[in-house]
Amino acid sequence: MNTIPNISRFSIFHEAQLDAQREEERQVLMHFLLRLDEFLKFSDVTFGKNPPDFVFHHQDGRIGVELTDLNPKLFEDGGHQKRAEYKTFEAKIYQKSTADESFPWDKVSMRESLEAFKSQLEAKRKKAQPWFAGFTERWLLMNVASASGSPFGEILNGKLKQATPDMENAFADYVAKVTHDIYAICQDAHPFDHIILFRDSDRFAEMLMFSPNCLNPYNLPMPSNEILNHGAKVSDSVLDRKRTPKITIKKTSHRFLD
């Protein structure tokens, strides 16, 4: 994609005096819409009644859209306290640092992250019950935010830097297993028609769609049968390795999640 789509025409970008949460959601959605334009043209994008967060308007109807940041694990009362620490860290970096700085998240296994994913999906399913019937489609957008410590970004690019052949094979097993398990969880996603994981990447978002009925009317990126079949054969033990996701803020202001 070489030409930047004109998404500034959408109503959400002309709304003034938004609260902090809605303004943040609008900024997150912007990169997703830039990428989505490659596959689907909308006549307008508006804020929903919360729920849903947004409404995508196109010639065949209206899509009710919920947006959430993926958590790296289940949290007790008090929520994701590490996220607040990260925001403080980020603010200080942009104010005074001229060198690259790294922020370590809590140590977590992919099994814990998948449990959190399943819990968040179930909560959104329940929240959608009062409103889903009023739309031709329902989408759940799950943001793999660098500011949340989620490890799911690995399945969106599937790349391992400076890897030996053995490391590449082990990483391919890991990515296939995680992708397969997300796919399996998403088979019970009613009333959502599509669950889309995405994250910012330069100007446009990386994304991967999971659909309960394996339908893909818009030709969005989906896991291949090859990856799903591969993942089904990989041992569950690969999910138990704990790691500490680390985000590095470059002095060029780009974020990299290691």
Q: How many domains does the chain have?
A: 1
Is pLDDT of 62 > 80? yes
Tokens of 27: 């900024």
Mean pLDDT of the chain: 85
Closest CA to 113 of 210, 185, 171, 195: 185
Residue that wins the pLDDT comparison between 223 and 258? 223
| 54 Cβ contact list (under 8 Å, min separation 6) | 12, 25, 29, 45, 46, 47, 48, 64, 65, 67
**Is 7 within a domain?**
no
Range of the domain at 78: 24-257
**Is 19 within a domain?**
no
Rounded-to-5 percentages of helix, strand, coil across the chain = 40, 20, 40
Percent of the chain with pLDDT over 90: 57
92-123, pLDDT tens digit by residue?
Answer: 766 665 567 776 667 889 999 999 999 999 99
What does the alpha-carbon distance between residue 197 and residue 140 come to, in Å, rounded to a whole number? 9
Closest CA to 149 of 208, 204, 89: 89
**Is 4 within a domain?**
no
**Is 9 within a domain?**
no
**Is 5 within a domain?**
no
**Is 83 within a domain?**
yes
Q: Where residue 205 falls among pLDDT bands split at 50, 70, 90?
A: confident
120-164, pLDDT tens digit by residue?
Answer: 999 999 999 999 999 999 999 999 976 566 778 888 876 655 555
**Is 86 within a domain?**
yes
Is pLDDT of 4 > 70? yes
**Is 18 within a domain?**
no
Helix (H, G, I), strand (E, B) or coil at 1: coil
Average of per-residue pLDDT across 45-66: 96
Look up the pTM and report it.
0.85
